[in-house]
Chains A and B, each alone.
Chain A
Amino acid sequence: MDDIQAILNNMLRIAVDPTTAAVAIAVIGLNIHFGYTGLLNIGQSAFMLLGAYGMAISVTQGWPLLVGVIVGLAVAFVYALVLGVPTLKLRGDYLAIVTISAAEIVRYVGRSVGYEKLFNLTGGAQGIPGSRYRGPFSNLSFFGNGNTTILSFNYHDVSDSPVLRLLGWLVVVGLIILMVRVGRGRFGLGGYARIAAMIGLGLVTAMLVFFLAPVSQQNTGVNGWWFTVITWVLVGISLMIVLGLTTSPWGRALKGVREDEDAMRSLGKNVFAIKMQALIIGGLFGAIGGMMYVLPGSVQPDAMGRNLTFFCYTALLLGGAATIWGPVLGSLIFFVGRIGIIGIANTYLSSDKYINIMNGQQTAQFAFILVGVSLMLLVIFRPQGILGDKRELRFNV
């Protein structure tokens, strides 16, 4: 029971981690590209990396944080324009080729050491250590110092018996299933009622989870509550914006472009402009995600390469493309699930207490293998993702 509890604690720590939330923001952007507009952008990591570079370099040059954020967004904006102008008039496949190549170009330029002025800014493959640009953001914190445990009232206060916690986890599983059903539009809830129900259930579930596995972190330090709260607030704001955009006539036009560009032209819509707007909006979300992703860590071009783009796609497909909540749910499941598998493998397959058949490095690889297999199974048996509408797939031509 203690082993399981330790694994669950780790999973929960990842679930509230700011990097998970940061990737969720980038996936929300990717969802606008791929889910709503049908733009196959395989280079979301470049938007993240450019946003991160823009902010980090500006701050290390002594500019204020706000200016850094604006620079990061501006760089991503220009990058989207440069990518979009030549490719968005062509068929979708070309955008895929160009985005993945451009993302690699951005990464290689970032890690290059040939040009000294550039190297001084980007730090080459070593990147920019977080301590050089994190200061202004940490200083904004009004959380004070010291540690805080979420939910001061937790299971220790009731009883330490494993039975209570086991029961509690079963209730959590039940709540999550209920949330998924509500998210898919069961129980006749729609529109704002559904959103309210989702938020309410989410809060109850989160409280119960923290009751069962209290997470204790620094208030302001690296990876502390300040970073966590701000990043998740940004996730919430992003969700609100996407909800507003996709339920507007503009969002309807996005879906129209995804379905048939010629039909949209025959209805008098400027398809190129709509696609460009979508590319820019999704790219800006990617840039914000990139900034939040590097704040607790460091800007390392190699950590934000193709892998990260594929993580984003995995999370998006898991949660369900073209859904509001899919990107967040997918990111949570992807990161938490991976840590869970690593934890289980470390505990049961890599210790003398149970079976010892792999070392620590192999358990991480084992986790990726399982994630890959489950993604394949998902695409075969539930291609619309967890929250997707099954009806939409039937007409996928």
Chain B
Amino acid sequence: MSETTTASGLADPAARRQLMSEVQPEPGSPKPDSILKVDNIVRNFGGITAVDVDHLEVQRGIITALIGPNGAGKTTFFNLITGFDRPTSAGQGAHWSFDGATLDRTSASRVAKSGMVRTFQLTKALSRMTVMDNMMLGAQNQSGEVLAKSLFKPFWSAQEKNIEAKAVELLRRFNLLEKRTDYAGSLSGGQRKLLEMARALMSDPKMIMLDEPMAGVNPALTQSLLAHVQSLRDEGMTVLFVEHDMHVVRHISDWVVVMAEGRLVAEGPAETVMSNQAVIDAYLGAHHDTDLGDDALLTDATLEQLEKEVAEEEAEREEERT
């Protein structure tokens, strides 16, 4: 990785650290140049509030990790901002914008067209199509996909050649070139992750959203996937990814956003956010270091104290909700 010569100048780790050091490490803090702004997104499933995000900004040109315990609403949040799901608060103050364009009522395909492309936690390779066809589908604005022009090859053959050349280049970069005539369904799980990422890149996105890109991938492949993600950042792309593996998060992310029970609980650089009390509470529970075998816990005073804490917490939550 060359760390000095890129368009954005953010390939240099020091520059990134410098940039993000001015940002307050607290949930919903404003960023110097945010590409994605999210306000007041709520999604209820029956009585359960899966996502309740007041404000979030994602900085352009860096890798932002979205972490949180199971069921924290990370994937639901992804679905909401990419148009695959509609917030319950739609029309009641829910508002989000990408690169200056409002996305409140935009369909999933339009979101992708505007430059925010996502991948899926369970990969969606188009199984009964070749790897090459999978890649070719990723390209945007193909005139051959217009029904009226599709019958007349001269309209689209030149563009098709360009797309094919680009696909070959991307496949080579992701070590999938020798698989190009194979059906995507015959690829291994890790290769499908690579294919999905490569396919998303066919559209030249401004921001790529990876939903657990490393899940189920062997350690050797994880290393190359990480390198790919970092090289995307170094080319000036914004990356937002969901991940469980803390080593991965610590290794590549420039900024970490932590979700728990649908809310943002913390933000900050990877080195410091892990020691944030709210994050530890979210992952391990607020009383994780209490010894349950300790008889002292059974005294009335302690029990009252715990009950008071619980009541306070709930009141606090009630207040926030109203």
Contacts and interface: CB of A to CB of B under 8 A. Distances in A.
Interface of A: 241, 244-245, 248-253, 255-256, 258-260, 262-271, 277, 281, 391-392, 394-397
A262 B146 CA distance: 20
A259 B124 CA distance: 9
Chain A facing B: main interface SS: helix
B118 A266 contact: yes
A265 B112 contact: yes
Interface in B99-139: 107-110, 112-113, 117-120, 124-129, 133, 136-138
A248 B136 CA distance: 11
Interface of B: 82-84, 107-110, 112-113, 117-120, 124-129, 133, 136-138, 140, 142, 144-147, 150-151, 153, 156, 160, 183-186, 199-200, 202-203
A263 B151 CA distance: 25
A397 B124 contact: no
A277 B147 contact: yes
A281 B153 CA distance: 19
Given A253-B137, A268-B109, A395-B127, 15 more contacts: A245-B151, A249-B144, A249-B145, A250-B144, A252-B133, A255-B126, A255-B128, A256-B137, A259-B126, A266-B117, A266-B120, A268-B117, A394-B186, A395-B184, A397-B127
B96 to A, nearest CB: 17
B140 A268 contact: yes
B137 A269 contact: yes
B84 A262 contact: yes
Contacts of A259: 126-129
Nearest to B126: A259
25 contacts: A241-B151, A245-B151, A248-B156, A249-B145, A249-B160, A250-B146, A251-B150, A255-B128, A256-B137, A258-B128, A259-B127, A260-B124, A262-B120, A266-B124, A266-B200, A267-B109, A267-B137, A267-B199, A267-B202, A267-B203, A269-B137, A269-B145, A270-B109, A394-B185, A395-B127
B144 to A, nearest CB: 3
A259 B140 CA distance: 19
Most chain B CB within a 10 A radius of its CB, from A249, A263, A391, A395? A249
A394 B119 CA distance: 24
Given A249-B145, A259-B129, A397-B127, A267 B183 contact: no
A391 B183 CA distance: 8
Contacts of A249: 136, 142, 144-145, 150, 156, 160
Contacts of B108: 262, 265-266
A259 B84 CA distance: 17
Most chain B CB within a 10 A radius of its CB, from A255, A256, A271, A397? A256
Nearest to B196: A263
A90 to B, nearest CB: 15
Given A248-B156, A252-B133, A267 B138 contact: yes
A253 B146 CA distance: 10
A304 B280 CA distance: 69
B294 to A, nearest CB: 51
Contact of B109 (A244, A250, A265): A265
Contacts of A281: 147
A392 to B, nearest CB: 5
Given A249-B142, A277-B147, A394-B185, A255 B117 contact: no
A268 B199 CA distance: 12
A250 B145 contact: yes
A255 B184 CA distance: 13
Nearest to A259: B126
A269 B127 CA distance: 18
A241 B108 CA distance: 31
B145 A253 contact: yes
A271 B84 CA distance: 13
A250 B150 contact: yes
B137 A252 contact: yes
A263 B142 CA distance: 17
B84 A263 contact: no
A262 to B, nearest CB: 6
Contacts of B113: 268
